[in-house]
Structure 1
Amino acid sequence: MTKKLKIDFVSDVSCPWCAIGLKSLDEALARVGGEVEAELHFQPFELNPKMPTEGQEINEHLSQKYGSTPAQLEQTREMIRQRGAEVGFTFGIGKRSRIYNTFDAHRLLHWAELQGHGLQKALKEALFKAYFTDGESPGSHEVLARVAGEVGLDEARAREILASHAYADEVREREQFYLQNGIHSVPAVIINERHLISGGQPAEVFEQALRQIAAGG
């Protein structure tokens, strides 16, 4: 008998470990396909909520935030690239030069969820690719609207939403909910609103958790 599970994937489109974690979760869900039916929801989290619209040079930002040296940054970048390759996600070498504000991307993702038919997941994946693989800005209304159209959403409506304040309150409310419930790093994968798996874990970790929860463990 197939067990239905609700999965809230709390993440930011500018988080490399979120892209890796989603690929791993997809692999785990494929492995437990006959046992688990997942209802997947993407929830907003901003790594840099005070980031200006134009963004900041990435090495400068990471050095200020974590105190990392250029050598450490390059080592981390290569580790992320390798982990991405292992799960089938391509991090474009030298493509990302800036960190951007992602609030409008989250507004668009909120709208996409309301459209159904898996469009929120399609948009999330396309935004990961646009930023990490192609080096495009997830803060650009032009990029966001174009990507929305490419995954089957109404591009004209996406532009209207981005030009307004639509869904801003809803996104802020969800962000605050997860912050107040102790989510301060992402990805955070919450199953049935009770079980938390933190970080871009390997597929095996997600698979084991899904089987245990589905079995009532």
Structure 2
Amino acid sequence: MGKKRLDDAIQKMDFPVEVVYRCFELDPSTERDVPYNVYESLSKKYGMNIDQAQASCRNTERMARDVGLEYNFNSVILTNTFDAHRLTMFAKRYGLMKEMTERLLRAYFTHGKHIGDHATLVQLAEEIGMEGSAVREMLAGKEMSDAVYADEVQAQQYGIRSVPFFLINKKYSLTGAQPLETFVQALNQVMQQDGPFTNLGGQSGASCDDDGCEIPKK
């Protein structure tokens, strides 16, 4: 939702804003095939019962609808996202990082796709115009791993611990799915103080807290 509100805010600006996506894993230790669902995960992490976890996710789904997004937590498949991040970095080579990021987010939050599965990632990449054989070869090896790790090291240096996180001109930050008006105000204020933007990076990924799960989005 943070990403959607940022996109909407940019549409209101009368000056150009460049958005650069960065890689961030909330839990790098997560297995590719997770034997529990999102409700069980929230229950375990935050000490809530399943009914509370479901109610929290229903609330987040309503919030998503308010900004024009569709979340379906009943079908979300938890997984390790490292290979999905490698795919976004690979897509960047072809000028398709934004498209790949958005497709992965819809696949995960809306369509219930297993974005840790290589066959699924190849299919999603092909849907945005990438060559399936090249993606398959990349995923089979370690290519783009260093690029993902480099982003994660940079996030550590900035003290980033959760997402969504937005860094403007490498020195101003916004965290969480802020209201549209907050993004508009921040962009205008930074433009007045610094002049034309040199960088606005959004850490892409899912963030879950007591209020549910949010994406920048990622």
Smaller-chain TM-score bracket: 0.7 to 0.9
| Matching of residue 99 in structure 1 with residue 78 in structure 2 | yes
Indicate yes or no: 2:131 matched with 1:128: no
The amino acid of 2:52's aligned partner reads: Q
- Preserved contact between residue 56 and residue 100 of structure 1 (Cα < 8 Å): no
**Partner Cα separation in structure 2 for residue 201 and residue 21 of structure 1:** 6
CA distance in 2, matches of 1:185, 1:69: 23
SS in 2 for 1:189: strand
Distance 2:88 2:157 in 1: 21
Q: 1:66 aligns with which of 11, 21, 46?
A: 46
Query: How far did 1:94 drift?
Result: 2.0
Residue type of the partner of 1:165?
A: K
- Which residue of the partner structure matches residue 69 of structure 2? 89
* Aligned residue number for residue 77 of structure 1: 57
Q: What is the number of residues matched between the two proteins?
A: 193
Q: Quote the RMSD (CA, aligned, Å).
A: 1.3
Which runs of 5 or more structure 1 residues have no equivalent in the other structure? 1-19
> TM-score, normalized by length of structure 2?
0.84
Once the two structures are overlaid, the 10-residue window that deviates more, 55-64 or 83-92, is: 55-64
The Cα of 1:216 is off from its aligned counterpart by 1.3
The CA deviation at 1:180 is 2.8
Note if 1:148 corresponds to 2:125: yes
AA at the equivalent of 1:22: K
8 Å Cα contact 2:91/2:97 also seen in 1: yes
Give CA deviations for 1:110-145 in whole Å, capped at 9, x if unaligned: 1112222xx111111111111111111110111111
Identical columns (%)? 35
Written as runs of structure 1 = structure 2, the 5 A alignment for 1:188-207 is: 188-207=165-184
Partner of 2:22: 43
C-alpha deviations, 1:72-117, integer Å up to 9, x for none? 2112101110111011110125222x3110000000111112222x
**Runs of 4 or more off by more than 4 Å in structure 1?**
none
| Residues 22-77 of structure 1: per-residue CA shift (max 9 Å, x gap) | 11111000111x22x12211111111210111124122222222212112211210
Q: In structure 2, which of residues 131, 136, 148 is the aligned counterpart of residue 171 of structure 1?
A: 148
- For structure 2, the 5+ residue unaligned runs are 195-218
